[in-house]
């Protein structure tokens, strides 16, 4: 719940919620997880704590339900989320490489982890 940019309801969350209904319907999945998610959302939106702090469901709230319904392991949720961002990350990197003023990667931007990792 909550988002750094969206201080009201995340408009993407509305779309993902509708998509969750659609995907589960098309797959013929009657997943109790979706019903629980809807009930949690309803409870949070009527709870003073969440309302006062403007904590609304964000885009990630229903994506886990969709991934689970599609048969993905929870271990794959983060990689699936990242795949959608790869084009933007690559575009930022390319922009940095093509602009001589930006070519120097700052230390906090340089990956220093192991070269090979198993997924």
pLDDT tens-place string over residues 20-46: 888 788 878 777 887 888 899 899 889
Within the chain, which residue ranges are assigned CATH 1.10.230.10?
Answer: 1-72
Q: Does residue 108 register a pLDDT over 70?
A: no
At residue 109, the pLDDT reads 64
Class of domain 1-72: mainly alpha
**Which of 10, 21, 31, 60 is flagged as catalytic?**
60
pLDDT digits (tens, 9 = 90+) for 44-98: 889 999 989 888 888 888 888 888 888 899 999 999 989 988 999 899 888 888 8
Catalytic, 60? Answer yes
- Catalytic status, residue 10: no
Q: What is the pTM of this model?
A: 0.62
Model confidence pLDDT, tens digit, residues 91-104: 988 888 888 777 77
From residue 74, alpha-carbon distances to 28, 40, 51, 114, 117 in Å are 20, 20, 29, 23, 19
């Amino acid at each position: 719940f909550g988002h750094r940019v969206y201080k009201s309801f995340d408009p993407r969350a509305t779309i993902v919620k509708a998509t969750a209904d659609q995907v589960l319907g098309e797959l013929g999945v009657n997943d109790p997880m979706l019903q629980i998610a809807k009930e949690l959302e309803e409870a949070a939106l009527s709870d003073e704590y969440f309302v006062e702090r403007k904590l609304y469901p964000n885009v990630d709230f229903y994506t886990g339900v969709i991934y689970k319904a599609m048969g993905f392991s929870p271990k794959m949720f983060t990689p699936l989320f990242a795949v959608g961002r790869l084009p933007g990350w690559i575009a930022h990197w390319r922009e940095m490489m093509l602009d001589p003023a930006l070519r120097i990667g700052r230390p906090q931007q340089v990956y220093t982890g192991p070269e090979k990792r198993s997924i």
